[in-house]
Structure 1
Amino acid sequence: MESKDDLHVFDWTIEETKGANTWHTSPEKVLGHLRASTTAKNNAISLGNNTTTFAPKPKPSSYRTIPVDVKVGLGEPAEFRCGVSEGSQNLIFTFYSSHGNYTLTCPNGKMEDISQALYGSCEVKNGELVAIWTLKGTSYSDNNARVVCQQSNNPDECVAVLHVYGADDTEDDLDGIVKE
C-alpha cells in the first residue's frame, strides 16, 4: 500500500500524491531535496525509504515491437526493429542521420536508395510485420542517429536513438556528448 507521501515519475515529470489530491512538480524541485544517491542504471532515485522510478513511455497500443535506444562501440553493428500486427496495412520506418534520411515502407519492402553500410528489410514472423534497420558498422558521425516508426493511419509514433562510443569512452560518457 502506498503512503500518502509517495512520489511517482511518469514521462519524466513528477506526480506527487497526497490523499485524494494529485499534482505535478518539476524534477528540479525534487532533485534539490534528494538525500540519497541516484542510480540511473536502475532508473530509480532513492528518497530515504521511498523509491521513485522512471517509467518508460507507454507502448502505443498498435505496436507489438517498439524500437529501443541502442548503445554500441565504435565500428560495431547496430539494429533497430519496429513491429505491428501482420494485418496492418503499412509500417513506415525512417532512419535519420548525418549521412541522410532513409525511409523503409513495409510490407512491400520499398525503400529509398541507401548507403552501403545501412540495410533495411521487412519480415513477417509469428503474426507480426517487422521493419528492421541494420547499420553494419558504426562511426562517430552515426552518434545520435534516430529512427522513427509510424503508420500512415495512426498518429502514434515510436522513436529510438543510436549512441556510439569509442575505446576511450564509457557508456556513461554518452549523455549529452556528440563526437565527430
Structure 2
Amino acid sequence: MKANTWKIIALALVLSACKSTPTDLSHTANPTSKQEVAAEHAVSDTDDAGRAYKIYGAYLSNRQIYFDYDSDTLNPKYKNLIAVHAKYLLNHPQSKISLQGHSDERGKGDYNKDLGLRRAVAVKNAFNAQGVKNAQLETISYGNEFASRDCPDEHCHKIDRRVDINYGVK
C-alpha cells in the first residue's frame, strides 16, 4: 500500500512540474511594472560609494525606450529606467553611451531619420536633466534602417519605435 502511495505522489509531482504556461511576449515591447519598481528601488538604495546599484545590473541591461506612433515624446514610465542609467554614468564619468533612435517602416526615409534623431535627443535631454554631461552622450538616428521589414503588424511597429542605449562608445 505504501509503495502505491509513493507512486501516486511521484506521479503528481511529475505532472505538476510539466504544467505548461502560456508564453507572454509583451515584456519585449514594454518594461513590466516589476522592472520599474526595482529600478526605482535601485536609484534610491545606494551607499556613499555608489555601489548598491551594481546589484541591480539586470535593470541596467534594460536598454530600450519605446515611443508611440509618430511621436518623440518620452513616456514618463521610463523616468526610473533613465535614472538608473544616469546614476551609473554619473558614478562612472569615463563611461559613454550612444542613444540610437529608430522608427518603424511607415513613412519616408528622411522623415523617419529625423524622427529617430528627435527621439534620441528626447532621451538625451532626460539624461541631461539627471545631471549627465553631453560629453558622455552621443545621439544617432537609424530611422527605419533596421525596421522589421517582413512584419507589417502593430507589434513589430511598436518594437521598431525606440531608442537603444548602447554602452561602450569610445
State whether TM-score is above 0.5. no
Where is the helix percentage greater, Structure 1 or Structure 2?
A: 2
Where is the strand percentage greater, Structure 1 or Structure 2?
A: 1
Larger Rg: 2
Q: Which has the higher contact order (CA 8 A, sep 6+)?
A: 2
Structure 2 length normalisation: TM-score?
Answer: 0.30
Structure 1 length normalisation: TM-score?
Answer: 0.29
